[in-house]
Amino acid sequence: MVNNLRHDNTRLQVVDALRGFALFLIFLIHNIQYFGIQFNYQSSCAWLNDLNNFLFRSIFVLFGSKAFQIFSLLFGLTFFIQKRNLEQKGINATKFFLWRFFLLFCFGLFNSMFYYGDILTIFSFVGIFLIPLSQLKNKWILCIAVVLIFHPIEILKLIKSMVIPMDYVKDVFVFTNNGNGVNNILKDGSVLDVINNNLFYGKLSNFKLNFNVGRLSAILAMFLMGLYAGRKWLFALNNAKTILFWKRLLKTSIILSVILFVLYKYDFASFGSDNIQKFIKFILLTVINTSIAFVIVSAFVLLFKIRLGFKLFNQFSFLGRMSLTNYILQSVIGSFIYYGYGLGLYKFVGAVEAIIISVLLTVLLSIFSKYWLTKHLRGPFEALWHKSSWCFFRKFG
C-alpha cells in the first residue's frame, strides 16, 4: 500500500476525515467565541450559566489552539504530495508555490472580510518558508520542527529579560483582544463597517497576535511535521510499522502533556516579575497545546482503523475534501449569525447553543459537500484555486 501510494494520486481517506474533523473543531471554537465578539452572555438560569462556563472552559482546554495546528500538519502533508507531483511533471515547484500561496493570500483576504481571525493569510505567509526548507533532508526537517515547537525566539526573549532589567516579554500580552471600538463595530456596525475594520485593523491585529503568541513558529513547525509525515507515508495505514508509530506517538504525547502540565502548575515566583512568570507559563502552555494536538491526531488515526471509529469519523471526509470552501463558508455564515448586521445572536446564546449551532453547521456543510462532490471533482473554491494555480502551467495541468 505504501509503495503504491508513492506513485499514484490515491486519496488517503484518513487525511480527508482528519481535515474535516479539524474543521469541525475550528467551527466549534469560532462559534463559542461568537466569531470574535467579546460578550459575556448571562442566562436567567444559574445552572445554565454554570454549564455554559464549564463547556466554554472545557472546549478551550481540549481543543483551543489545537485545531489550527492539526490543520497546519495536514497543510504540510498536502504540500509534500503536490510538490512530489510537480517534480514528476518537471515543473518548477518554487514558482508554482509562490503563485499558489499568493492566491491563498487572496482567498484569505476575502475570508477576512467576514472574520478578522482568518488563518489563510497566515498560512500563505508562513508557507513561503516551507519552500526552501522542503529541500532539506528528513533529519533536518524533523530537527527544525522540534526546535520550533519549543519556541526558541520566545525562550531567547525570556532569557534576555531575566538577565537584563528590561521587560522584553510584555508584547506577548498585547493585541490579545479587539478593543471596545472594534468590538462595537462587530456588534452594531453595518456590513461595510465590518469589512472595512476586518481588512485594515483586523488584519494587522490578527498578524500581531499570531506573532506575539508564537503561532507563526508553531504553524511552521506543524507544516514541517506534515511534510515529514508525507515523506514517511505515515498516513498510509495498511502497514504494521505505521500503526506502531502512531501508538508510540500517542503514548509519548500523553506522557509529555502530563509532565508539561505539572511544570505549568509550578510556582515561578522566584524567576522574576509577573510578566516573566506569565511568559514562562505561556511557553509551557503553547508546547502543551502542540503535544495535545499530537494526542488528538494519533488517537484519531488509530480509531480510524477500528470499524466503529471508521464509520463515525469517515463522516467528516466530505467536509475535509472541500476544506477551503467550507472554511470560508463558515466565516460567511457565522459572521451573519452573530454580528450586528445579521441576526446578532451573540446576545442570546451561550456555549450550549453555540455548540448546537456548530454541530448543525457541520452537518449542513457536510451534506452540501457530499452533494457537490457527486457533481464535481472539487469544491467551488478548490476548483478556482486549482485553475488559477495552473493558469501559467496549462500544458501540465
The tens digit of pLDDT for each residue in 2-36 reads 333 443 334 589 999 999 999 999 999 999 999 99
The answer to whether 344 and 184 are in contact (CB under 8 A) is: no
| Residue 126 φ then ψ, to 5° | -65, -30
Cα–Cα distance, 369 to 378 (Å, whole number): 9
Residue 80 contacts residue 226 (beta carbons within 8 Å): yes
Is the pLDDT at 171 greater than 60? The verdict is no
Q: Report the pLDDT value the prediction gives residue 395, as an integer from 0 to 100.
A: 54
Lowest mean pLDDT among 58-67, 125-134, 150-159, 309-318: 150-159
| Ranges 49-53, 103-107, 202-206: which has the least confidence | 202-206
Query: Alpha-carbon distance 202 to 330, whole Å?
Result: 18
pLDDT at residue 84, as a whole number: 93
Within 8 A by CB and 6+ apart from 394, the residues are none
Out of 39-53, 215-229, 355-369, least confident range? 39-53
Residue 230 predicted with pLDDT over 70: yes
pLDDT, one tens digit per residue, over 262-277 is 998 888 777 767 777 8
- Rounded to the nearest integer, the mean pLDDT of the chain is 89
Res 358 pLDDT > 90: yes
Task: Report the range of poorest mean pLDDT among 156-165, 257-266, 356-365.
Answer: 156-165
Cβ 38 vs Cβ 182: under 8 Å: no
CA neighbours closer than 13 Å in the CB half-sphere of residue 300: 24
Q: Which residues of 269-306 are buried (b: 16+ CB within 10 A; e: fewer)?
A: eeebeebbeebbbbbbbbbbbbbbbbbbbbbbbbebee
Question: What is the model's pLDDT at position 191?
Answer: 94
- Of residues 273 and 395, more confidence is placed in 273
What is the reported pLDDT for 155? 82
Rounded average pLDDT over 206-235: 91
pLDDT at 146 over 90: yes
Q: Which three cell numbers stand for residue 384?
A: 478556482
* Integer Cα distance of 111 and 101 in angstroms: 15
Give the contacts of 276 (CB within 8 A, at least 6 positions apart): 158, 161, 162, 169, 268
The predicted structure's pLDDT at residue 200: 86
Q: Check pLDDT > 70 for residue 166.
A: no
Q: Is 308 exposed, middle or buried (0-12, 13-18, 19+ CB in 10 A)?
A: exposed
**Given this model, what pLDDT does residue 255 score?**
97
Average the pLDDT over 192-219 and give the result: 87
- Cβ contacts of residue 44 below 8 Å, gap of 6+? none
